[in-house]
A and B are shown apart, each in its own frame.
Chain A
Amino acid sequence: MASAGQGGPPPTMEYGGDEVGALVLDPGTETTRAGFAGEDLPKRVIASQYGYIPPTEEGGEGQYFLDDINILRRRGGMEVKWPMQDGIVEDWDGAARVWKEALVPQLCESLAENPLIVTEPAWNPVKNREKTTELMFEQFDVPAFYLARSAVCAAFANGKSTCLVVDVGHSNVSVTPVYDGLILKKGTQKTPLGGAFINQQCRAIFAQRNPPIDLTPYNLIDKRARVDIDEPAHPEMRKFPDQDIPHTASWLKWCQDRLVHDFKETIVQTYQQPSGSFSEQHLATQPPRLYEFPTGFNTNFGSERYKIAETMFQPTLATINPDDPLPFDPATVHSIGQIVKDSLQGIDVDVRQAVLANIVVVGGGSLLFGFTDRLQNELQSLYPTVRVKIYASMHAAERKYAGFLGGSILASLGTFHQLWISRREYDEHGAGIVEKRCK
C-alpha cells in the first residue's frame, strides 16, 4: 500500500503502543453503531434518524431529538428525518448530530483525544468520502481518522481476504466482491429489496386483511383487554398533555416500523426451495403462526409469512398496496440471485470461482429465518457446476455488526497506527488524502 503520498509515512510515535483507545463508528441507514476498538460488540446502537420540531412562527430555534428513547416519545408536530439514504449521507447536519450523539458523551468526553475509524459502503462517492474526512477533522476535531469499507471489514472479520460479501441491510441488499482485501468496484451491485422493503411488504399484507390490521404502536396505547382470535380489539388510547397538537405521519411510521420489525423477526420465514417451485397452495397446508398486535388484536399468518420473504428472491410476487406504492417497479427490479449474477459478470473469470466458494453473508436482514439456506439453494441452482459455499456467523450480533467488528479489530491492531490519517497530514494535504490512504 502506498504510504502517505509525498509526505512520507505518518509519525509512528504518535500512536505507538497497542492501546490507542480508538473509537469505531459504523453508520447505517437505519441504525448507527459506535464503540471502542478491540471490542466485539458496539457499546451504542442508536437510531440513525432524528426528531425535529421546526421553529414556531414567533421565531426561536428548531428542536432536535436524538437517540431512540427521545424519538419514541410522542411530541406534537415532531417530524422524524432520515439523514442517510441507501447508506449514503444526504443531510450532513443531521448525520453529524446523530454521529456525535452516538459517541459523546457516553463513550468519551471529547472527540479530540481519540482516533476515529468510520465505515462506509462500497458505493460511497468520492465527494462524500472527502466531506466525511473534512467533517471529522474540522467539526469533530479528531486527532487521527480512517475510513474503512464496511464490506472489507466484514470480509476480514470472517477471515477472508477474497470473497463475495452479501450484505442484507435496511435500505438495500448489496453484493461486493473483495479480492485480496480490496473491493472490486465493477462487481459491486445493489438492489432495493432490503429490510425497508420487507417492512413495506408486511404492511401491505396487513392492509389486505378485511378489516385492515390496526398498527397503532405500543406508546399510544394505555390499556388493552384480551380478545379472542380474529375478534376486533378496543384498546384505550393514552392521553398526552400536548394532545391538541397532532403527531406527524413520519413519526407514526417510525414507531410502526419498530412494531413491523418485531413481526418480521418472529413470524416471517423464507421458503427453502429455489425460485420457481414456490407454491402458495402447498404452503397453505403448513401450520400457521399466531401474532398479537399492540391493540390486542391477534390473528394467524399462514402462507403469507413465506410470501413476504419470497419477494426478495422473486420480486414479481410483491404484494401491491395502491395506498403505499413501491418506490420501484417489481417487474424490472433485480432479485438477490440476479444481483449476484450481475456482480460476477462484472469481475474477472478467474476470480468468479474463488468468490463463489467464499460467500460471506452479513446484515440484520440475513437473520430472517432460513435465509442463508435459501440463498445457498438459489445460488447453487444458478451455478450448478461450481462449488458454492456460504459463510454466515452463527451469532446474530456478529452478523448484524460485522462492519463494526471488522473495523474494531483493524483499528486495535498494534500495527495499524501506520495507516491512520493524522491531523498533521490532513492539514498538509487536505481532505483529498482519504482517496490515497483509504482504498
Chain B
Amino acid sequence: MSRSGVGLDKECVPAFEDLKLGRDKSTKFIIFKLSDDKKSIIVEKKGTEPDYDSFTAALPENDCRYAVYDFEYDLVSGEGKRQKLCFFTWSPDDAPVRSKMVYASSKDALRRALNGIHADVQGSDFSEVAYETVLEKVSKGQGSK
C-alpha cells in the first residue's frame, strides 16, 4: 500500500505485462490515472501511435498522470536496437496542489507492482520528458535517435 492508502485497479498489471512481453503488439505506451473517486489507479489509455510526440501530447497540461513507455533506440556504436521500459511520473507545475500530492504519495502502489522497468523519469514540464532528455537517461549516453 502507498503512503496515501490508494490502491491499484486489477487492470493495471495485466496491461503492463502485455506491453512488456509484447503480447499486445500495437501498444506503445500506457497512461495511468487516478479513478474519479480517488481510491485507485486505473488505466486511462493504451497508446498505439508509434511516435514519441503523440505520447507527450497525451499528457495533460494541468493535471498529473503516470505512464509507461516502451522506449526504442539505436546504439551509437551501431550494434543494433535496444528496447527499454520507462516509467513516467508526470506532475506539471500548473497541476492543482491536491492532485500533485495524491499522485506523489500514491506512486509507490503502482511503481512497485510493475517489474522490469528500466528507468524512472519525474517530469514537471515538457522539456523534462522530451525525447532527448529521456534518451540520455535511458541509454546512459549510448543511444542515438
Contact = CB atoms under 8 A, between A and B. Distances in A.
A398 B97 CA distance: 10
| A3, A181, A418 — most chain B CB neighbours (10 Å) | A181
B126 to A, nearest CB: 14
Interface residues of B, number: 30
A406 B102 CA distance: 10
Given A1-B3, A3-B1, A157 B100 contact: yes
Contacts of B104: 155-156, 158-161, 181
A160 B91 CA distance: 8
B89 A161 contact: yes
| B5, B39, B108 — most chain A CB neighbours (10 Å) | B5
Contact of B101 (A3, A156, A417, A419): A156
B107 interface: yes
A159 B4 contact: no
Contacts of A415: 4-7, 38-39
Nearest to A163: B122
B124 A1 contact: no
B89 A418 contact: no
Given A415-B6, A416-B5, A417-B5, A159 B101 contact: yes
Contacts of A159: 64, 91, 95, 97, 99-101, 103-104, 124
Nearest to A181: B3
A1 B3 CA distance: 7
A181 B108 contact: yes
B98 A354 contact: no
B37 interface: yes
A418 B6 CA distance: 10
A410 B101 contact: yes
Given A391-B124, A410-B101, A416 B107 contact: no
B107 A1 contact: no
A3 B7 CA distance: 13
A366 interface: no
Q: How large is the interface on A (under 10, 10 to 19, 20 to 34, 35 or more residues)?
A: 20 to 34
Interface in A155-193: 155-162, 180-181
A161 B107 contact: yes
B111 A180 contact: yes
A416 B104 CA distance: 14
A413 interface: yes
A405 B97 contact: yes
Interface string A205-243: 000000000000000000000000000000000000000
Interface in A85-132: none
A413 B4 CA distance: 7
Contact of B5 (A181, A398, A409, A418): A418
B74 to A, nearest CB: 24
Given A181-B104, A181-B108, A415-B38, A1 B2 contact: yes
A414 interface: yes
B105 interface: yes
A358 interface: yes
A40 interface: yes
Contacts of A409: 97-98, 101-102
A159 to B, nearest CB: 3
Contacts of A161: 89, 104-105, 107-108, 122
A156 to B, nearest CB: 5
Nearest to B3: A181
A157 to B, nearest CB: 6
A69 to B, nearest CB: 31
Contacts of B100: 156-159
Contact of B3 (A152, A354, A358): A152
A355 to B, nearest CB: 10
Interface in B82-102: 89, 91, 93, 95, 97-102
B3 A410 contact: yes
Contacts of A419: 3, 5
Interface of B: 1-7, 37-39, 64, 89, 91, 93, 95, 97-105, 107-108, 111, 120, 122, 124
Given A156-B105, A419-B5, 8 more contacts: A1-B1, A156-B100, A159-B103, A354-B120, A409-B98, A410-B105, A415-B5, A417-B5
5 closest pairs, A vs B, by CB? A159-B100, A415-B5, A159-B91, A409-B101, A161-B104
